Structure formats: C-alpha cells, structure tokens
Structure 1
Amino acid sequence: CLARASDILDEPVSRGTRAAKFLESLQDVPSRRTNALGDLLQLEKSYAHCAPSEVEKRVALLEQRVAQGEHARIQLLYEQAKRLSEGLHALRVSEEIQDERRQKELKVVEGSFLSDVEKVASDREDLERRYQVAMDNIVEDCRSELLKEQSQRETVHDDYGREIGEEVQRLQALFEKQRILRVEYGEQIVSHLEAEFQKVHDAIVSEQQLRFEAEGMMLRMVEDVCGKLHAEIQQERSQREVVQNKLLSLLEDTCSQIENSFSHLTPSKVA
C-alpha cells in the first residue's frame, strides 16, 4: 500500500488539490508516530513506581493502541491514494477523449480548408482565363486604334509640316526686322549712355574738388581746436599744481599745529 501511495505521490501535483492534501497527510505520519512514542515514554516514566507486571501490561496495551492507530491511518491513506489514483485515471481518460475530439475537429477543419483551397484555385484559374481573353480583346482593339491614329497622324503631319514651314519663314523675316531695330536701338542707347557717363564723370570731378576743399577746411578747424585744447590743458595743469602746492602747505601747517598742541599737552599730564 505504501509503495503504491509513493508511486502516486511521485507524480507532479498542484497546491490545494486532493493529491496535495494527501501528500501533506503522509508527511505528517512520522511526526505523529514520534508524538505517540513520546507519549509512551512519558507514560513509562509515570508508571515507574508501579509493579513490573502492571507496567508490562500497560506498555503492551499502549503498543497495541499505537499499532491499531497506525494501521487505521495507513488504511485511510491507502483509501485516499486509491481515490486519488482513480481520479488521475479519470483525468487521463478525459484528456485522451479531449485529444481524440480535437484530432477529429482538426481533421474536419483540414478537410474543409483543403476543399476551400481547391475551390479558390479553380475559381482563380477561371478568373485568369477570363482576364486573359479580356486582355487579348483589349490589346486587339488598341492595335486597331493605334493603326487608325497613325494613318490620321501621317495625314495631319504633312499639313502641319507645310504650315510650320510657312510659319518658320514668317518668323525669320520678323527676327531679321527685330534684329535691325535692336541694333539701331542699341546704338541709340550707347550714345545716350556715353552722354550720361560724361555727365556723371563731370559731377564726380566737381564732387572730388569740393571734398578736397572741405577736407582742408576740416583739417584747419581740427588743428585750431587741438591748439585750443592743448592750451586749456596746460592752463588746467598749472592751476592744479598751484592748488596742490597750497594744499600741501596747508597740510604741513596743520601737522605742525597738531604736533605743537601734543607737545603742550604732554608736560601737563606729566605734572
């Protein structure tokens, strides 16, 4: 029984399921057995003062109870393991049924898909044939239309060539007339520009003369102003030196007066 339960417990289980609870109960068996042995030792200590025969009877009774309790627990664990095994078997059977159902559905879908693909392929071939026929008709119509337009264009081309030749001759005569007028107008412009350039040259020369005269006048005015400023600076410098000399003499007088006053005050303090 324990071997079968261990085989069931070796399978992966999720937390909170019956298998997990069964595993927890199996893990509690050693602790329960240890607790029973501890109780037995405590009873032996408590019965130490009793007669040996009485102690042996009580120990045998306790061992019988412990064996019965372990047998009942093992039987309960075996039943739980059996139910868990049946549940796992039912789950496997259900999964196999689901797999078979999915395989059948996949086959049905695959057959439907293949039939749809074949239908689409046949429809595409029919559509390609219709498109090919329509394209051939369109190409033939375009070819006939192009031939018709080419004949018309050749007819119109001769008329256009004659008209263009006449227009070219007329434009050549007009260009020659325009060239003659342009040459005459250019000569007039050149003469007018020469006269204007001469006027501008004269104006520039007169402007240069006026500028030279103005520059000379400005230079003389600047020299006069510089002389006046130099004289004023010299006068200001001499006045500043006089004032500085006066201030120095006044400072020396003040210092001598202060020294005299200190010299008078010192003998009075000593007295």
Structure 2
Amino acid sequence: MVPKLEYTIKYSDNIEDVCRFIDKSMELNKEPVLETFRIHLDNRELDTSMWIKKSVDRHVRVLELNLLSSKRLTKLPQSLYTCRTLVELTLSNRILVDVPSSAYLPSLKKLLVVSVRFRNQDSVFRLLSSCSNLAPSTIPLSMGNNLKDTFSTKKVQLPCMRVLELKLHKSKTLSKLPESLYTCETLVELTLANDILVDVPSSAYLPSLKKLLLVLVEYKDEDSLVRLLSSCSDLARSTIRLSIADNWKDSFSIKKFSVIAGCEFQWHYFPSASTFQDAYNF
C-alpha cells in the first residue's frame, strides 16, 4: 500500500514531540513511493526542509505545504524542482520559491501557489515553464507585494495552460504581464485581479478563451481592453465580468465594445475604497 503522510502542527503542540513523531513515522514507512506528503504548520518556528527533501527522495506524488506565520522563510530543496513523480504541488505562505534553470516537472498536472515569496521573476516563469503537462490544470497564483516587479515585459514562453488566475495585492507599483500571455492559444479561463496593468499588444490572440474575469485592474488605455476582448473569438456565448475602479468610471465607451458581437457583459463600478472581496464577488 502506497503511504500517505499528513501532519498538522498546531501552536499548542510540543515541538520536540512533534519532530520525534514525524521522524519516526517517516522511518517506519519504508515504501519506495510516497503517495502524499502534507504539512500544515500553524504559527510555529520549525524547519521542515529535511522532511520535504525526504519526501522528494521517496518519489512523492502529491506534495502540499502550508506554512503559516513563521518568521523565517522555508527554502525548498532543489531536488523538488526536478521530481519526475510529482503530480500535484501546493505551496502556501512562508515559503521561498527559488527555481533553478534545470527545473523539470514532467508529471505535474496540478499547481497551486498562494502568497509565497519568489526569489525573482525568473523563478516564476521557470516554475511554469518546467511543467509541460499542466495543460488540463488550473494555475492560481496569489501574490503579495514582494512580487511588484515580477512580471516584466521580457518575453517568456508560458506552458500550454488552460486556466490562469493572477491576483496581485498590496503592491506599490503595477505589474505588467508578459506579452506571451496574450497569445496563449490554449487558455480557456483567465482571471486578472488588483495591481495589474493590462497592456495588450496588437498581436493578441486568445482563440480558446471562454471565460474572462477582470477585477480592479488598470488598463494602459481603452484600446487595450478592446484588443483583449477582440482577441477572444470564442467568448460569444460567455459572460465577461469587468469590475471598474473609480479612476476608470468615465473611460469606457460601451458603444466601442459593440465590436465584440454576441457577448454578454456584466459591468460593475466600485469606488477606490471598496475591498477586493467586494469587487471579486459582485
């Protein structure tokens, strides 16, 4: 039987006892393949990197790390980024993602990255580009202000994604997305939220896009939104949700969007004082 090792470490737990328990349980489970390794760390200072490395050495298939409220970032072992058996990867909170150029995750089908810290913008795109089998999966990336410069105009080759969700928050500057995003022919669903500058090139082409959600982003100009909508030839039967902050309340001409024949628009205006959740759930 392929083992599943799942640990929840609470603030009230005795750390020494927890460490002994995890060490012993990993020692007793000697199967060469580990189905699942899951750690939820609640507000404690604890180095989990050795257990993560052991799980990778055991050819783990599902890896989920949720490290909350730790002052020290946990750096993942380099071997994680070349784990050929990894099928699902979830990384949350106090984790440093430093992806080497050799990254290769050929079996990865599901990726969830929430509020982690990337070493630099190359780490973001190396991670995405290393996953050649992600086509049928969802890639949600929820990023904090440490990523204010993550998305530059540099050209990158994104994987054949079907669903992409980008939520950038608490950033002092707007993040500009790579032009390759607007020519991703496999993309079916796209969500862009908060501190993102939508600057769409004339070459934009998203023939498979069926669902589009834009929440409190900023547009370089009205033409950028028109280009984005015009690039989505398969949006005719879908709903386009646009929540517009007050700095754009007079900027959009509804008539100009009539070029997108057959689309159903949901427009909603939010003052700048509105919360992200208000806009996202309208």
Higher strand proportion: 2
Q: Highest Rg: 1 or 2?
A: 1
TM-score (norm 2): 0.13
Higher relative contact order (CA 8 A, sep 6+): 1
Report the structure, 1 or 2, having the larger helix content: 1
TM-score (norm 1): 0.13
